[in-house]
Amino acid sequence: MTLEQFEEGLAYARNNFLEDTDTHLWLDKKVINEAFNLDSKEVLDFGCGMGGMSIWYAKNWDCNVHGIDIDSNHITIAKALQKEFSAKNVTFLKKDILDIDSSKVYDIIFLNDVIEHIHPLCLLEKIIHKLTELLKPGGIIYVSYPPWQGPYASHINSVLKLPWCQFLPESFIVNYLKKHNKKKVGSLEDNLLKAYRGLNKMTHEKFMAVIDKTNLCCYYRNSHTILNQIRGLENRNLNIFPFIFLVTKEVLFLKQAEPDAH
């Protein structure tokens, strides 16, 4: 990682921590603020990236936060952000979640814009099973991601400048990215083409198929669309055809399913 990349990543992480509206995480912050009190909680930020949300949890509540990511560059930047804002109740660790000791358990586990990057889906299944082992009884797993049908799911809108560009022919997208590829801060997906190829084209149906293989159930779903900006539609869940193509982010709360009374 070059100094320029480090400074770019740190600025990005700093913005994700400080800003409530001028960040792609604005909806997560709004939902979390309204739904949770993290005081005295043990928090796992899985796929913490460059640490902006981990620091946000730690500075807004009296909680203990563990941020875990497999990308060494992300963790380097997260630790720099932690030092900059003197967040003492955060620990960042570069580690594969499947290698984490299950003796440490958490009240709430956050996955912000993570699951769409886990490929193949059989690996996602293993990870979700692992996260259930790390969850305290009565604990919650929070998941957010941009679904594949939505306008910004491709993660390459900054280059193609087109919503729904994931529906263009695959050969066109790959060739275009090869000509207009950009370096990324990560040590694993270190360019835009790798990041695009690493997407698993996640949809709500795909993710629910994974959850159905666990002891988890989904008890809250917020399908945020661009129509929610219209007065009177702010809180409407428009997740049926054809509105699914307008969903910018899915937010789900998962918990352990109640034992079958029968």
Which residues, in sequence order, are bridge partners of residue 250?
145, 223
Give me 253's structure tokens. Answer: 């709360």
Q: Which residue has the higher pLDDT, 69 or 155?
A: 69
Domain positions in the chain are 3-151+199-256, 159-196
Q: What is the mean pLDDT of the chain?
A: 93
For residue 262, what pLDDT is reported? 37
Q: Which has the minimum average pLDDT: 6-20, 36-50, 111-125, 154-168?
A: 154-168
Which helix (H) or strand (E) segment holds residue 248: the answer is strand 247-256
Please give the average per-residue pLDDT across 205-223, as a whole number.
Answer: 96
Q: With 90 as the cut, is the pLDDT of residue 158 above it? A: no
Q: Give 3-151+199-256's CATH code, choosing from 3.40.50.2000, 3.40.50.2300, 3.40.50.2020, 3.40.50.150.
A: 3.40.50.150
User: What is the percentage of the chain residues whose pLDDT exceeds 90?
Assistant: 81
Angle (deg, nearest 10), helices 204-211 and 121-133: 50
Backbone angles phi, psi at 151, to 5 degrees: -70, -25
How far from chain centre, in Å, is Cα 38? Answer: 18
Please list the alpha-helical segments (H only) found in 110-246: 121-133, 157-160, 170-179, 192-197, 204-211
Cis peptide before 169 (omega within 30 of 0): no
Read off the pTM.
0.94
Q: With 80 as the cut, is the pLDDT of residue 102 above it? A: yes
How far is Cα 119 from Cα 28, in angstroms, rounded to an integer? 23
Q: With 90 as the cut, is the pLDDT of residue 227 above it? A: no
For residue 260, what pLDDT is reported? 63
- Number of other residues whose CB lies within 10 A of the CB of residue 186: 22
Q: With 90 as the cut, is the pLDDT of residue 220 above it? A: yes
- Number of other residues whose CB lies within 10 A of the CB of residue 212: 10
Task: Work out the pLDDT band at 261, boundaries 50, 70, 90.
Answer: very low
How far is Cα 106 from Cα 66, in angstroms, rounded to an integer? 9
